């Protein structure tokens, strides 16, 4: 497949300053796209550095205060960053990681920068960091969007209602963005960049950081681009066939487990989509079904956090019909009320749910079918829909390795009616879609699942 340059629609200048050639290097302030491969922002920054005849410095701000971050998330991220740092240095740029608020780290490194390039994030604090850097630095800041197939504002100029309203817009455009990216060699090697923290000993760095140590790190999954590529290869070879039919069976495990890697930008969704689309001797229905999740559903979630700016993490983000029907049923009697602590520690009378909650806590991952069932029961077991929403979102983001993502906010919202339609009215749920225990038991061998987690 022919390689192409970066599509102009991914690029946006965020302030009106000019480059300053008297400075030392071009800075790529990396935050969201934590990879050295298929990274449009990195390639763009190399191009700018070559044009200025200057070296490239890649800077990363590691904040201990990242919202809802814990040891589990930081360890996975640092494993990936250690690999990325090495790969960037092999390409002839330097990599500097500093502890501090990402915007402040970028502002400090920008004092010596000719110009600054960054990638794009889709949550409130990601936008605020970029706004603050654009305002504070004396040179140009350019954003290059690397973690969606179709850039968010190109796909749609408004908040979409559901997959059915964004699907045709994305499908019409996605082929234009599914191409290999031309890589640019670094002309002038960076000899000695600014000082930063070493990534040689991640455990030491993690111990020295003031972070929530209460959520254990994971040993079944390791961060980084090469681990992501290995998982993608395994998925295409062994799990893609049957994806469409078996994807509702958690035990069949026809899933890619790529969501944590996509969350930390360790692999490009474009690379994943191309590899799956071009997989040989695979059924079109399996390929289409996977691309529906990876492209349409994932990009719908990013549309949501991008356009529902103020309240994508609040109960008020739900559609009016859902809020109305949940309020109509707010006083309906609940079968049992559990405290947040009982829920978090799998102390309910539902053995499937308890096993799922245990998997969430211990593995930081759950199959989509179980996530749906796990999420839905919060409404039945808490006093109010608002409290159910808050408790679910907080456990989702505390334990999932892929938590705190646009997908987290959109899918927790989905439990309460977001991006969905109204169904027949029933107690507690009103017109919001209900998933029964009987229904989930018919989908897979739940006894075997529970036994596995015992
Ligand atoms: C209550 C609830 C909470 C969820 N919380 C999260 C979360 O915190 N983070 C997260 O990334 N996903 C979340 N999801 C969506 C989905 O369950 C996960 O993305 C998926 O299970 C990840 O596993 P995988 O990579 O093996 O998926 P695969 O089946 O291999 O899918 C490939 C990719 O498609 C995307 N995808 C799959 N399903 C969805 C979906 N429903 N919406 C958007 N994108 C999707 C993901 O990026 C995923 O990595 C949640 C779903 C529910 C119902």
pLDDT at 19: 98
User: Any idea what the Cα angle at residue 373 is, between residues 273 and 125, rounded to 5°?
Assistant: 60
Asked, for residue 218, whether it belongs to a domain, the answer is: no
Read off the pLDDT of residues 260-273 as tens digits, 9 standing for 90 and up: 999 999 999 999 99
Asked, for residue 249, whether it belongs to a domain, the answer is: yes
Read off the pLDDT of residues 328-351 as tens digits, 9 standing for 90 and up: 999 999 999 999 999 999 999 999
Cα–Cα distance measured from residue 196 to residue 312, given in angstroms and rounded to the nearest whole number: 34
Contacts of 289 (CB under 8 A, 6+ apart): 243, 244, 247
Assess whether 86 and 66 both reside in one domain: yes
Assess whether 15 and 117 both reside in one domain: yes
CATH number, domain with residue 174: 1.25.40.80
Assess whether 155 and 261 both reside in one domain: yes
Assess whether 20 and 73 both reside in one domain: yes
- 294 C-alpha to ligand 1 centroid (Å): 8
Read off the pLDDT of residues 85-112 as tens digits, 9 standing for 90 and up: 999 999 999 999 999 999 999 999 999 9
- State the pLDDT confidence band at 281, using cuts at 50, 70 and 90: confident
Residue nearest to atom 47 of ligand 1 (CA): 259
Q: Which residues line ligand 1 (CB under 6 A)?
A: 255-259, 262-263, 293-294, 297-298, 301, 368, 371-372, 375, 396, 400, 402-403, 405, 407-408, 411-412, 414-415
Assess whether 303 and 366 both reside in one domain: no
Assess whether 49 and 85 both reside in one domain: yes
> Of the candidates 309, 338, 369, which is a domain's last residue?
309
Number of domains the chain contains: 3
Assess whether 302 and 323 both reside in one domain: no
pLDDT at 20: 98
Is residue 24 classed as helix, strand or coil in its secondary structure? coil
Assess whether 281 and 397 both reside in one domain: no
DSSP annotation of 37:
S
Q: How distant, in Å, are the alpha carbons of 122, 263, 359, 369 from that of 287?
A: 27, 21, 28, 19
pLDDT at 11: 98
Asked, for residue 88, whether it belongs to a domain, the answer is: yes
CATH number, domain with residue 395: 1.10.579.10
Assess whether 160 and 291 both reside in one domain: yes
Secondary structure (DSSP) of 315-355 = GGGS-HHHHHHHHHTTTSPPS----HHHHHTT-SS-HHHHH
Assess whether 270 and 368 both reside in one domain: no
Assess whether 155 and 129 both reside in one domain: no
Residue nearest to atom 38 of ligand 1 (CA): 293
Assess whether 127 and 262 both reside in one domain: no
Residue-number span of the structural domain to which 53 is assigned: 3-146
pLDDT at 191: 84
pLDDT at 2 over 70: no
Task: Give mean pLDDT, residues 281-302.
Answer: 95
Nearest to 57 by CA among 98, 101, 103: 98
Atom of ligand 1 nearest to the CA of 374: 1
DSSP annotation of 17:
P
Asked, for residue 208, whether it belongs to a domain, the answer is: no
């Amino acid at each position: 497949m022919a390689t192409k340059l970066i599509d102009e629609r991914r690029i946006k200048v965020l302030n009106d300053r000019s480059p300053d050639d008297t400075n030392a290097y071009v800075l790529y302030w990396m935050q969201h796209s934590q990879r050295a491969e298929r990274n449009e922002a990195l390639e763009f920054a190399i191009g700018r550095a070559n044009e200025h005849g200057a070296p490239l410095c890649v800077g990363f701000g590691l904040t201990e205060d990242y919202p809802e971050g814990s040891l589990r998330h930081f360890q996975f991220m640092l494993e990936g960053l250690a690999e990325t740092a090495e790969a960037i240095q092999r390409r002839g740029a330097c990599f500097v990681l500093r502890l501090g608020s990402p915007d402040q780290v970028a502002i400090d490194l920008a004092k010596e920068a000719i110009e600054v390039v960054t990638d794009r994030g889709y949550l409130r604090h990601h936008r605020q960091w970029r706004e603050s850097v654009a305002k504070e630095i004396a040179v140009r800041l350019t954003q290059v969007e690397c973690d969606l197939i179709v850039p968010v504002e190109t796909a749609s100029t408004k908040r979409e209602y559901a997959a059915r309203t964004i699907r045709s817009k994305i499908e019409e455009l996605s082929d234009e963005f599914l191409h290999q990216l031309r890589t640019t060699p670094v002309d002038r090697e960076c000899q000695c960049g600014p000082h930063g923290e070493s990534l040689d000993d991640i455990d030491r760095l993690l111990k020295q950081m003031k972070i929530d140590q209460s959520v254990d790190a994971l040993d079944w999954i390791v961060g980084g681009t090469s681990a992501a590529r290995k998982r993608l290869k395994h998925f295409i070879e062994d799990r893609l066939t049957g994806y469409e039919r078996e994807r509702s069976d958690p035990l069949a495990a026809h899933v890619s487990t790529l969501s944590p890697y996509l969350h930390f930008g360790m692999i490009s969704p474009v690379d994943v989509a191309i590899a799956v689309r071009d997989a040989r001797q695979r059924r079109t229905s399996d390929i289409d079904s996977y691309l529906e999740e990876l492209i349409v559903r994932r990009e719908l979630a990013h549309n949501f956090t991008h356009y529902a700016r103020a309240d994508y993490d609040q109960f008020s983000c739900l559609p009016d019909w859902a809020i109305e029907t949940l309020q109509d049923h707010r006083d309906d009697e609940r079968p049992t009320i559990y405290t947040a602590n009982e829920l978090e520690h799998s102390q309910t009378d539902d053995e499937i749910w308890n096993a799922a909650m245990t998997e969430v806590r211990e593995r930081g991952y759950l199959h989509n079918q179980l996530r749906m069932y796990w999420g839905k029961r919060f409404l039945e077991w808490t006093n109010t829909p608002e409290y159910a929403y808050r408790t679910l979102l907080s456990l989702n983001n505390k334990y999932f390795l892929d938590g705190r993502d646009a997908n987290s906010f959109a899918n927790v919202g989905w439990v309460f009616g977001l991006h969905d339609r109204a169904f027949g009215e029933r107690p507690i749920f009103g017109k919001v879609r209900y998933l029964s225990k009987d229904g989930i038991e018919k989908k897979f061998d739940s006894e075997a699942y529970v036994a596995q987690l015992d």
